[in-house]
Chains A and B, each alone.
Chain A
Amino acid sequence: QKEVEQNSGPLSVPEGAIASLNCTYSDRVSQSFFWYRQYSGKSPELIMSIYSNGDKEDGRFTAQLNKASQYVSLLIRDSQPSDSATYLCAVRERDDKIIFGKGTRLHILP
C-alpha cells in the first residue's frame, strides 16, 4: 500500500506566527490531496482540497502542491489558539482509495 507521511509533532508555534505543516506521499499518480483538521475527541473536518501544482488560498490557509517532489503542505497565517489540533493529510490514490497520514499535532502558544 502506498504511504502518506507526516511529522507527528507536536509542532509549537507562537500565536500570530505562520504554522507550516508538511506531507509527502509515495503514489506518483495521485491527483487529489486534502487537508483535514481534527480536534481531540472530534471527527476530521475538511480545510482544503488541492488538485493542481501551485498554491491555493482560502482565508488564513494556503495549501501548496508540488507533484514532482510528491509534497503537499499547509500554511496557516496569523495562527490562533483555536488552530491547535491534529492536521491530517489525505491523498486519493490511483485506485481511488483515500489514504491518510497519521497527522501532525499543532500547538499554538498564546
Chain B
Amino acid sequence: KAGVTQTPRYLIKTRGQQVTLSCSPISGHRSVSWYQQTPGQGLQFLFEYFSETQRNKGNFPGRFSGRQFSNSRSEMNVSTLELGDSALYLCASSLGDRETQYFGPGTRLLVL
C-alpha cells in the first residue's frame, strides 16, 4: 500500500507571498493532520481534518488554513508568508478517530 505523499517536496518563496501544500493520505485513511517542524520548536500541531471537516486546530495564526476534499486529500495554505514560516511541513494520515498516524516525507519551505 502506498504511503502518505506530499507535494511539492521543496519550495522557496519570498515574504508576503502565499503557498499551498498538498497531502494525499494512505488509501482508506480519512483523517489528515498537519504539523510544522522547526529546530527550535519541534513538531507543532497545525490542524486535523476528518471527512472534510476540521476537527482540531493548533495555536497558529489565521494565515494558516487548510481543507480536505471528498477523496481525503488535503491542502494547507499559508498566506502573507513570514521568514519564521520557514520549516518542514509534515502531513500525517490515520484511519480515523484516535488511530495511529503515519507521516509523509514533508515539504520543506524556505521563505526569503
- Chain A residues with CB under 8 Å of chain B are 1, 32, 34, 36, 42-46, 49, 88, 92, 95-103
Contact = CB atoms under 8 A, between A and B. Distances in A.
Interface residues of B, number: 22
B104 interface: yes
A96 B48 CA distance: 10
A32 B101 CA distance: 12
Nearest to A95: B56
B100 A34 contact: yes
B8 interface: no
A110 to B, nearest CB: 26
A42 B19 CA distance: 22
B103 A96 contact: no
Given A43-B105, A44-B103, A96 B90 contact: no
A42 B105 contact: yes
Interface of B: 33, 35, 41-45, 48, 55-56, 58-59, 90, 97-98, 100-106
B42 A100 contact: yes
A46 B43 contact: no
A44 B43 contact: yes
A102 B102 CA distance: 18
Given A43-B104, A44-B90, A49-B100, A102 B42 contact: yes
A98 B45 contact: yes
A51 to B, nearest CB: 10
Contacts of B100: 34, 46, 49
A1 B45 CA distance: 11
A46 B56 contact: no
A46 B102 contact: yes
A93 to B, nearest CB: 10
A101 B35 CA distance: 13
A95 B45 CA distance: 13
Closest CB pairs A-B (n = 8):
A102-B42, A100-B43, A43-B103, A43-B106, A44-B103, A43-B105, A97-B56, A97-B45
